[in-house]
A and B are shown apart, each in its own frame.
Chain A
């Protein structure tokens, strides 16, 4: 996993390698400086100091500080370049990967989880990476160097480390390993709290309509209190870090003062060496603490890294056509040959089975059936949003798998049931269908979708800004914009998946009549709840439970299909009294 992620450092590799290297430079200087200060103090103590000597040592120290500063600043610069660059590459790779995902892949992760992985998780990994390259070398090297220097100054006193380091390391390890599950528990409670808030935002009208504010507040208070308790439980451990660190550090200092004082008494040690030694204690123990923080951060971000890798490792389950990728759609004919399909690729749990249907180019096909009968599944196979489990889907006389996805989907326009507009102007949204469309073409498509009139009624017309998801147009207007956007593709086949459900019947009829007269040669599939939307189609397919039960014209079906008749009467009821 680490190897996989590391491969995204790419062009920033040089910085990622340089960072720890220059950090070593900084560490070396930082470890050497106390030697100089020790010399200064010793000479002062022994009354051997001359101003020249001190000034010389001082100049040396300034020089070392400048070198250390340069290394440190370089480390900071390289570190941020490497880690921000790494995050950029990772984000790009993830985003590009998601673009390659099929509908099946997107369903697998769910939209909200994909978003978290691309945003929060990447941020986590980025921060850990920066800390890693800046400290993973620096702290251990500092630790080792400081211990070596201390031993060099006085090996007998250095036994203090033998006690201090294990005590501190052990308590850090105990604290972080115990805190980790508690933090996980806290995050879970936190998710629960956020879910309550989100629910209330989405369904505020229901909360208010049923006067359930109090009820919701009680629910919220309960989970907010759970968050409080969990947070307290987790952080209770973390706040031990600092005092323990202080205790061990000061304990060591006192021990050094005691043993060092005795050594000085017998003349085996001097005061200058002692101050140097005390600095090394500080350096050793702080780097140990840094390491424990690093450890903690790594534990937390492993989960994030795992989630990122899952996305990167996901194999897009629809690949570009292997055959003649230059092939164009000959015409708008569609043929299903004994097709079965399952969202879970499970032959035991089929969403479509035994589909045989042949549609001539230019035909208009209506599809009717209850919720879950497989209408949407059926049409999604045409632009290859999903692949059939068995059997073949032919478009323009060729297996859909032989086309490149781009060619196929440019030839087949689909207006999805759950459709989306993007933030930007109406024109920008429409240009998704064809980026080179002229104003005339845009207006024509909008007229056919009965959208031109309402667009023109806006003060800014086609330049009206749409909020994210098209929040500032009504449901029916949104659907008409989506249809217009699809029409701009000038497709051979157009599929309307319940795309006029929010449009009133008269407008619906207007759109259909435009389709019939203006888009004569285009094969049209219309999925609808209303019989009126499909009754004038060339043929109507009646679906039930993943199968086609009847095919025919409105009149034929009224004769032969029981289901169709049932639907018809349910919508006609009272019509003929």
Chain B
């Protein structure tokens, strides 16, 4: 899997993205309101607790001096402490409550984001996947959702509570003494400046570090995946040397980034101390020379507040970066969610049908072995049924994956129901492209491809694909048992049907040799099976689907010829009565086809059955004989 080689990004539209992220939370509006109340309360209790310290000192402790035994003064002191205890206790409780609410809400939101992302991914056209690496898409689910989780569960609450604490302390300080608050403002200005400079540098180097890390990880992936080739070519020393360079760059950037991040805290802390000294000196001056302006009690309370003032400040400055990263990730996720899904204007659907004695088709709700196309006609308000037979026509199809490069040029062909049509030609001639068009992985202009006489653009994609079964060049399996994998072709197939399909594909013998037979668990795309065995299971999967049309794209290329000969009977049975499109390198696989199309550079240059083509003495003849004589 290639690594995400994407340069680190900054979010483009912070406000809009943030709003959209919130929309995922807003389902439980009531809880959100409680959440904000709790955050406000928890932060407020911190400020209030600090504020309560002054009356406790001035009105609780001081009157006590020399009068410890006075029960009135004592009970007043205790009452004040209880009040403070209540405030702090409620604060802790609401801190827990808001974390708990956020945990519930954010995990649910993440679930919805993940599912929506996956849903939208499943609905996207093949073209989307062809243009992106797996690593790129995978990292949406891992890195990007993760940073969003971090943001939702920590950063948001921290920022809100930091902001409230900051404002709260500021107001308290202002109430206590506006003169001293001016002094604090000066310090605040310095702190903001320092945060901005250091934080900015840190962010810059973090972005550089992410880039370097991406390169290093990419190199590791590529080299380890190609490790065997590296060995065969004795390229180890070169690989080591190249790696050293990349690794050195990473180390440099990472050191810088972390240095800036690390020094921010001590600097802020100590600036705070300096601020304290400054306030104390100025305050003492005021208290001594202008006692009417500032009492010592107020000064002490002020000092306590200003001491706590910088904490939320540095906390918030650290959160900003992670929020920006998370928003950049959220934007990437939303881009995929907003991606236009596979277009489907089809309205012709596939239905089970039964035939009455007059040969008229009637729709039923159970499997009858007969399929029909249900074709509603809007204008007349009627519905007609066409029996699914597997007649496929291509009429002058021209197609390119990108507009500049045509892959197929004016291809026309006609497959009668039950016919076997083969495509032959060198790699890149356009064989697979034709099958991609028949099942509408890619779309061609209207009317160019017809299925049982119906323009395939009118057929609902899902129904069209259900009527076709494919065995692809790269066979794949899903995590699950062997039986689950075969049943993938028809979800309601019984065990017996699956086993019959496996027998047909000649897979039964090896499956029975597996540790748990049909119930053997397959993991990691069938890494415990050989490539040939994986392919046999893919054939069984297509067999159980029992479709009118079958597409075999190099289905037997990874099976050795002896095994192929063994499954040939099964394959013949599988192909019986169906329209089959076969792509193969081995000419022996295609020779008994009704028609063979020889493709070159996207054009059909020869067509006919085997004997016709041999008689033509053209390209096919060359290919065919070349394999045996051109040596």
Contact = CB atoms under 8 A, between A and B. Distances in A.
The answer to whether A and B come from one shared complex is yes
A250 B92 contact: yes
Nearest to A112: B1
A155 B210 CA distance: 51
A177 interface: no
A556 interface: no
Contacts of A432: 229, 233, 235
Contacts of B269: 30, 68-69, 72
Contacts of B563: 370-371
Interface string B212-242: 0000111011111111111111111101100
A420 B64 contact: no
B332 interface: no
Contacts of A61: 273-274, 276-277, 280
A250 B122 contact: no
B631 A509 contact: yes
Contact of B216 (A91, A225, A246, A372): A91
B585 interface: yes
Interface stretch (B15-23, B247-255, B449-457): B247-255
A224 B115 contact: yes
Contacts of A405: 234
Contacts of B236: 99-100
A529 interface: yes
A513 B60 CA distance: 104
B88 A275 contact: no
Most buried by A among B129, B141, B538: B141
Nearest to A88: B251
A212 B227 CA distance: 36
Contacts of B250: 88
A420 B216 contact: no
Contacts of B479: 195-196, 199
A77 B630 CA distance: 71
Given A239-B99, A265-B65, A372 B562 contact: no
A266 B476 contact: no
Contact of B277 (A58, A83, A118): A58
Nearest to B424: A504
A370 B565 CA distance: 12
Given A44-B296, A54-B280, A119-B217, A247 B262 contact: no
Given A88-B247, A250-B92, A468-B2, A114 B224 contact: yes
Contact of A383 (B111, B232, B267, B478): B232
Interface string A233-268: 001100110111011001101100110111011110
Contacts of A216: 118, 122
A505 B628 CA distance: 9
A88 B247 CA distance: 6
Q: In terms of DSSP, what is the predominant structure of the interface of chain B?
A: helix
A365 B262 CA distance: 64
Contacts of B466: 210-211
A509 B626 CA distance: 7
Contact of A574 (B121, B227, B427, B591): B591
Contacts of A531: 561
A217 interface: yes
Interface residues of B, number: 158
A410 B545 CA distance: 51
A310 interface: no
Interface string A73-107: 10111011101110110011001101111110010
Nearest to A369: B560
Interface stretch (A157-165, A331-339, A343-351, A473-481): A473-481
Contacts of B355: none
A419 B230 CA distance: 11
Contacts of B531: 371
B122 A207 contact: yes
Contacts of B488: 206, 210, 212
A206 B49 contact: no
Contact of A72 (B88, B224, B267): B267
A1 interface: no
Given A258-B78, A267-B65, A506 B224 contact: no
Contacts of A76: 258-259, 261-263, 265-266
B37 interface: no
Interface stretch (B284-292, B361-369, B390-398, B570-578): B284-292
A299 interface: no
Contacts of B266: 26, 68-69, 71-73, 75-76
Interface stretch (A321-329, A354-362, A565-573): A565-573
A220 interface: yes
Contact of A476 (B239, B257, B427, B461): B427
B406 interface: no
B115 A221 contact: yes
Interface stretch (B102-110, B317-325, B375-383): B102-110
Interface in B584-631: 585-588, 591-592, 610, 622-623, 626-628, 630-631
Contact of B630 (A80, A100, A506): A506
Most buried by B among A77, A265, A504, A570: A265
Contacts of B439: 209
A428 B411 CA distance: 38
Nearest to B216: A91
Contacts of A193: 114, 141
B24 to A, nearest CB: 13
A100 to B, nearest CB: 7
A312 interface: no
A505 B111 contact: no
B126 A194 contact: no
Interface string A189-202: 00001111111111
Contact of A33 (B65, B273, B303): B273
Nearest to A516: B631
A532 B115 contact: no
A209 B467 CA distance: 10
Nearest to B304: A275
A130 interface: yes
B115 A232 contact: no
B178 interface: no
Nearest to A66: B270
Contacts of B100: 236, 239
Contacts of B299: 44
A201 B134 contact: yes
A163 B98 CA distance: 28
A95 to B, nearest CB: 5
A504 B427 contact: yes
A284 interface: no
Contact of A224 (B103, B118, B274): B118
Contacts of A228: 107-108, 110-111
A413 B233 CA distance: 8
Given A262-B68, A423-B222, A574-B588, A209 B626 contact: no
B13 interface: no
B314 to A, nearest CB: 13
Contacts of B465: 208-211
Contact of A62 (B92, B230, B277): B277
Contacts of A221: 115, 118
B138 A201 contact: yes
A20 to B, nearest CB: 14
A96 B588 contact: no
B134 A198 contact: yes
A111 interface: yes
A205 B267 contact: no
Given A76-B263, A80-B255, A474-B427, 17 more contacts: A30-B269, A61-B280, A72-B270, A76-B259, A100-B236, A119-B220, A119-B221, A209-B465, A216-B118, A224-B118, A242-B99, A258-B77, A261-B64, A371-B560, A372-B530, A385-B228, A468-B133
10 contacts: A44-B287, A44-B300, A50-B288, A51-B281, A72-B263, A79-B258, A261-B61, A267-B65, A474-B427, A574-B592
A-B CB proximity, top 7 nearest: A72-B266, A76-B262, A80-B258, A505-B627, A570-B565, A54-B284, A65-B273
